Amino acid sequence: MKLKIAVLAGDGIGPEIMEQGVAVVNAVARKFGHGIEYREAICGADAIDKVGAPFPEETFRTCMESDAVLFAAVGDPKYDNDPTSKVRPEQGLLAMRKKLGLYANIRPIETFDCLVHKSPLKDEIVHGADFICIRELTGGMYFGPKKEGTDEAYDTNIYSRAEVERILRVGYKYALARKRHLTVVDKANVLASSRLWRNVAMEVMKEYPEVTTDFMFVDNASMRMIQEPRFFDVIVTENTFGDILTDEASCITGSMGLLPSASTGEHTPVFEPVHGSWPQGKGLNIANPIAQILSAAMMFEYFGLKEEGTVIRKAVQASLDAKVRTPEIQVEGGAHYGTREVGQWIADYIRSH
């Protein structure tokens, strides 16, 4: 297969982890005879500094002309610490989602047996947890009408029936391929937008009788996720709730540096780690590249190349078992491996196995 991949390294640790993600993609491509054409583009604070916009039109065109986007992270303290700034790196991320029509964010939460002790939760709680959060990505408060003033501000949480239906169908697609259990998370006891979600979900669920569908308020879901994560199989929820719940879910695995994601919809799909740009770690060769590498696995699987995705996952598991890990997940007294060393080890494993 020939693939055109847009590479958006972004800010902070983004270029470092992207380098390792691309190295792994190259190793897989050589192993299976795929042709990869990379197209680098700027975004985030890097793009603001260079052209004044966080998601320039040229970057958008590059994404639209590609088969997939490998994205790392955006964000910079000089914008975070300036509340008066009119242009922010994160606006580029929102613009990319909106302009590419990426309405479905898929975040798998899966534990590694050798790392359950790194979770702040008890081993017996997190062991065997394996579920997917599917977050609606282009609606809700993040994109609704806003007002920001010195005495009053608001963000409008707007959803349409069509938006709710299409994300639910994505959820049911995944549920049918897994344990056939789908949980709709909302706040229907308070919010009108959530009551629309629940009403639409109760209609759509009738089309999928083979899937067990249940409903949970977001506050209850946030507690249940910590108390009994193995209860969940597929979670579907709106933009704001999904943003919060998926970050909470990262505690289950023990490190956000292990979690990949995919954003899909109307145009070019985007594959990215769930963590941010972590500017404090920039240039120190300590950032965990595994989430970026597993995002590449999701990219191959998106195109039906399941064996390629499996090879990456096996290499990642082998690196963890061999204790080739970045500092935040390394065992006490274990050897030091940096971003480059972990990425190189995984790429070498793929080439030699």
What was the pLDDT predicted at 250? Answer: 84
pLDDT tens digits, residue range 94-146? Answer: 899 999 999 999 999 998 888 888 888 898 999 999 999 999 999 999 889 99
Q: How far, CA to CA in Å, does 301 sit from each of 123, 271, 297, 313, 349? A: 30, 11, 6, 11, 19
The band of 253, judged by pLDDT with boundaries at 50, 70 and 90, is: confident
DSSP state of 67: S
Burial of 146 (0-12, 13-18, 19+ CB in 10 A): exposed
Q: Which residues are catalytic?
A: 142, 187, 219, 243, 247
Across the range 247-254, mean pLDDT stands at 86
Which residues touch 332 (CB under 8 Å, ≥6 apart)?
Answer: none
What DSSP element (H or E) covers 317?
Answer: helix 306-321
What was the pLDDT predicted at 335? Answer: 92
The CATH number, out of the four listed (3.30.530.20, 3.40.718.10, 3.40.50.150, 3.90.1150.10), of the domain defined by the range 1-102+266-353: 3.40.718.10
Q: Which of 10-24, 238-252, 280-294 has the lowest mean pLDDT?
A: 238-252
Q: Reply yes or no on whether the pLDDT at 269 is more than 80.
A: yes
Alpha helices per DSSP H over the chain:
14-32, 44-51, 57-64, 77-80, 89-99, 123-126, 161-177, 192-204, 218-227, 239-253, 290-302, 306-321, 339-352
Percentage of residues in the chain having pLDDT higher than 70: 99
What DSSP element (H or E) covers 10?
Answer: strand 2-10
pLDDT tens digits, residue range 215-243? Answer: 999 999 999 999 999 999 999 999 999 99
What was the pLDDT predicted at 82? Answer: 66
The CATH number, out of the four listed (3.40.50.1110, 3.10.20.90, 3.40.718.10, 3.40.605.10), of the domain defined by the range 106-255: 3.40.718.10
DSSP state of 333: T
pLDDT tens digits, residue range 134-164? Answer: 999 999 998 899 998 889 999 999 999 999 9
Q: Reply yes or no on whether the pLDDT at 87 is more than 90.
A: no
Type of residue at 183: T
Residues of the chain within CATH 3.40.718.10 domain(s) are 1-102+266-353, 106-255
Instruction: Return the SS3 of 2.
Output: strand
